[in-house]
């Protein structure tokens, strides 16, 4: 298997590629002493999401947070929150790769397992992802409906309007509300106007 340019054929090859990977980052400074780390060359930095991440990345990052929680508690991993000129903030973990016995730590083994899982299927938690997609769709369309109502000076219950419009598209153009660039479903002002006419809220001019 291969993910992000790393050979995942075994934990040994994964850890060899990941240990001290942060030293290869361009224009990068890591204040590892703030975490109480005194052996940084035994650690790896693994980012999970950034300011511009899609819903899949955000959902996977949440699943990784749950998987890594116990390792943060025992000190074999730390949360990292860095800034980057191109993507703004970027978050993830510093993870100890090898223990005092020279063997891969359970923390890096957990990251390896996650990487292998993502190689097989891109979503770690389907339920969480589906909920995020639904929430994003609701927010996207609700914002467009609010804008439409203000523009046309309509005093309507926007929550009920949302249900009516989405239901109309579900029955008439079921493919209209699809996730765009993995940021949730969306309806344009033109599409909302079309549904408003069909539902009898406005008269076609």
- Tell me the HSE value of 14 on the side-chain side, using a 13 A CA sphere: 23
Mean of pLDDT values over 15-38: 92
In this structure, what is the dihedral angle of CA atoms 110, 112, 113, 116, given to the nearest 10 degrees?
A: 160
Nearest 5°: phi and psi at 76? -95, 0
**How far is residue 188's CA from residue 4's CA, in Å, rounded to a whole number?**
35
Is residue 103's pLDDT more than 70?
A: yes
Range of the domain at 56: 2-120
On whether both 131 and 160 belong to a single domain, the answer is: yes
Q: What is the 3-state secondary structure (H, E, C) of 21-41?
A: HHHHCCCCCCCHHHHCCCCHH
Longest dimension (CA), the chain: 77
Is residue 92's pLDDT more than 70?
A: yes
What is residue 205's predicted lDDT score, i.e. its pLDDT?
A: 65
**How far is residue 158's CA from residue 164's CA, in Å, rounded to a whole number?**
10
Q: How many domains does the chain have?
A: 2
Paired tokens of 30: 């890591």
On whether both 10 and 110 belong to a single domain, the answer is: yes
What is residue 3's predicted lDDT score, i.e. its pLDDT?
A: 39
pLDDT tens column, 147-192: 999 999 999 999 999 999 999 999 999 899 988 889 999 999 999 9
- Residue 201 DSSP code: S
| Residue tagged 């934990």 (tokens) | 11
On whether both 107 and 32 belong to a single domain, the answer is: yes
What is residue 2's predicted lDDT score, i.e. its pLDDT?
A: 41
Where is the domain boundary, 69, 88, 120? 120
Where is the domain boundary, 120, 136, 165? 120
Nearest 5°: phi and psi at 164? -65, -45
Q: What is the pLDDT confidence band of residue 1, given thresholds at 50, 70 and 90?
A: very low
What is residue 16's predicted lDDT score, i.e. its pLDDT?
A: 95
Task: Tell me the torsion sign for CA atoms 49, 176, 134, 197.
Answer: positive
Where is the domain boundary, 100, 120, 140? 120
pLDDT tens column, 72-85: 999 999 999 998 77
- Per-residue CA distances from 46 to 50, 112, 121 (Å): 12, 11, 19
On whether both 150 and 114 belong to a single domain, the answer is: no
On whether both 111 and 133 belong to a single domain, the answer is: no
**How far is residue 106's CA from residue 96's CA, in Å, rounded to a whole number?**
9
Mean of pLDDT values over 1-27: 78
Q: With 0-12 CB in 10 A as exposed, 13-18 as middle and 19+ as buried, what is 67?
A: middle
Q: What percentage of residues in the chain have a pLDDT greater than 70?
A: 96
How many degrees, rounded to 5, is the angle at CA 51 between CA 38 and CA 62? 70
């Amino acid at each position: 298997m291969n993910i992000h340019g790393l050979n995942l054929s075994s934990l040994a090859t994964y850890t060899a590629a990941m240990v001290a990977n942060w030293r290869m980052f361009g224009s990068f400074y890591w204040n590892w002493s703030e975490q109480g780390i005194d052996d940084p060359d035994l650690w790896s930095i693994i980012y999970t999401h950034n300011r511009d991440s899609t819903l899949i990345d955000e959902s996977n990052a949440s699943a990784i947070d749950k998987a890594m929680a116990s390792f943060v508690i025992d000190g074999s991993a730390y949360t990292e929150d860095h800034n980057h000129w191109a993507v703004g903030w970027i978050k993830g973990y510093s993870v100890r790769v090898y223990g005092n016995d020279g063997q891969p730590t359970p923390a890096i083994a957990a990251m390896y397992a996650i990487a292998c899982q993502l190689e097989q299927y891109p979503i770690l938690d389907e339920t969480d992802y589906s909920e995020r997609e639904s929430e994003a769709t609701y927010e996207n369309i609700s914002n467009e409906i609010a804008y439409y109502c203000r523009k046309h000076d309509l005093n309507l219950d926007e929550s009920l309007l949302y249900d009516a419009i989405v239901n109309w598209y579900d029955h008439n153009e079921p493919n209209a509300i699809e996730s765009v660039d993995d940021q949730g479903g969306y309806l344009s002002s033109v599409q909302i106007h079309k549904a408003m006419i069909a539902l009898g809220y406005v008269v076609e001019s």
